[in-house]
Amino acid sequence: MSQPRRTIYLDHAATTPMHPDALAAMQPYFSEFYGNPSSIHGVGRRASVALAGARRTIAELLHAKPSEVIFTGCGTEGDNAALRGIALAHREATGAKRIITSAIEHHAVLTTAEDLRDHFGFDLTILPVNSAGVVPIEEVVTALGDGKDVAVVSVMYANNEIGAIQPIGEIGERCRALGVPFHTDAVQAAGKLPLNVAELPVDALSTSAHKFYGPKGAGFLYLRSGTPFQPFMTGGSHESNRRAGTENVPLIVGMAKAFEIVERERPQENARLRVLRDQLIGSILENVDGARLTGSATQRLDSHASFVISGVEAEGVLIALDLAGVAASSGSACTSGAQRPSHVLEALGVPARDAVGGLRLTLGHSNTPEDVAYVLQKLPQIVAQIKGAAPVML
């Protein structure tokens, strides 16, 4: 098979290209309708009408109230705002000072929880996962106890490295029964899983626009009415005193448009990508020497295929794929240029010698059956060549 004419992008969990309609929707708000939405004059009012419209669109798609949508700058900000804001406010009201989260959270949650432990006097309980990368509900029940000392529980909806979907409905129900606030990081779930908060028992849910074909630099935090919350961005009275700072109207308009599109297309797109994902998983497990699936085979995002390949280092595979015209990822954190075993693979019990061979292929709008066929032809050759040329020294 000859080199593809365009890059085959298989890193949609890292970021997505903007949907052209979302890009078009936001464009006038940079130049034509540039007003500050807090201004009284007509130029400002034009912006505040757009802001209110975007908030309404997102709220309707979530089955929430517009007042429950807070605009943020990214997923990391939403996670920080929720964790810090809820933990501090709930502790002030009740004295509860324990935070419960899982071992496979994104660093936006884990590092924030550690900061609250190390610098703000909270206790921290980290929930383990099973070998499929799913938090067992019994672990949540045990960790919660009677819930009286728990300030907040935060468990992600779907994992970014292994695509495993967490039982947030059950976790949320347990929390609700005990009066414990529950936050979920839905950054990887938005546009791929239902975010109907009339049915999901979540008090807070954070997202990031650039993961669902919206712009980088925008996100939203859903915060259920009545949830204890102390803003961590203080200043003006924007976002009803919950997130100070002039709202980024163009990006918010683009995000609302992108969210509308992904939600509308979700059932068909999931079904289409599931077929491609299953081809990737089936063929890679069969034809790539040493490949093993990471994360659940059944409870996983339709767009997500992830593996460890024993006997190779991810970097070599990714460079060879890149040279062959395929953009993929290891799915593991790369800290200061040095590949360190990912905390997620560690939590799954993957031995360090295999964890260096992580490979994540995440599908999206642009991917076709031809893309998948090309990767499935190239990858076994690449792995065989690397193994033949230089065995990994560990």
Active site residue 334: yes
Of 43, 93, 323, 334, the active-site residue reads 334
CA–CA distance, 25 with 394 (Å, rounded to integer): 51
CB of 389 to ligand PLP, least distance (A): 32
CB of 42 to ligand PLP, least distance (A): 33
User: For residues 258 and 312, which CB has a smaller minimum distance to ligand PLP in the complex?
Assistant: 258
CB of 22 to ligand PLP, least distance (A): 16
Q: How many CA atoms lie less than 13 Å away from 228 in the CB half-sphere?
A: 21
CA–CA distance, 20 with 259 (Å, rounded to integer): 13
CB 356 within 8 A of CB 392: yes
User: For residues 81 and 355, which CB has a smaller minimum distance to ligand PLP in the complex?
Assistant: 81
Q: Which helix (H) or strand (E) holds 220?
A: strand 219-223
Residue written as token pair 């090309």? 374
How far, rounded to the nearest angstrom, does the alpha carbon of residue 180 sit from its chain's CA centroid? 23
Strands 326-327 and 358-362: unpaired
CA–CA distance, 258 with 392 (Å, rounded to integer): 43
CB of 108 to ligand PLP, least distance (A): 4
What are phi and psi for residue 43, nearest 5 degrees? -65, -40
How far, rounded to the nearest angstrom, does the alpha carbon of residue 60 sit from its chain's CA centroid? 21
Q: Which residue's beta carbon is nearest to the bound ligand PLP?
A: 75
User: For residues 82 and 288, which CB has a smaller minimum distance to ligand PLP in the complex?
Assistant: 82
CB of 111 to ligand PLP, least distance (A): 11
Q: Running DSSP on this structure, what letter comes out for residue 74?
A: S
**Buried/exposed 11-20: b ≥16 CB within 10 Å, e otherwise:** bbbbebebbe
User: For residues 76 and 342, which CB has a smaller minimum distance to ligand PLP in the complex?
Assistant: 76
Q: Which residues bind ligand PLP (CB under 6 A)?
A: 74-76, 79, 106, 108, 156, 160, 185, 187-188, 208, 219
CB of 295 to ligand PLP, least distance (A): 13
User: For residues 74 and 89, which CB has a smaller minimum distance to ligand PLP in the complex?
Assistant: 74
Which tokens belong to 372?
Answer: 């998948």
User: For residues 310 and 339, which CB has a smaller minimum distance to ligand PLP in the complex?
Assistant: 339
CB atoms within 10 A of CB 335: 9
Active site residues per annotation: 334
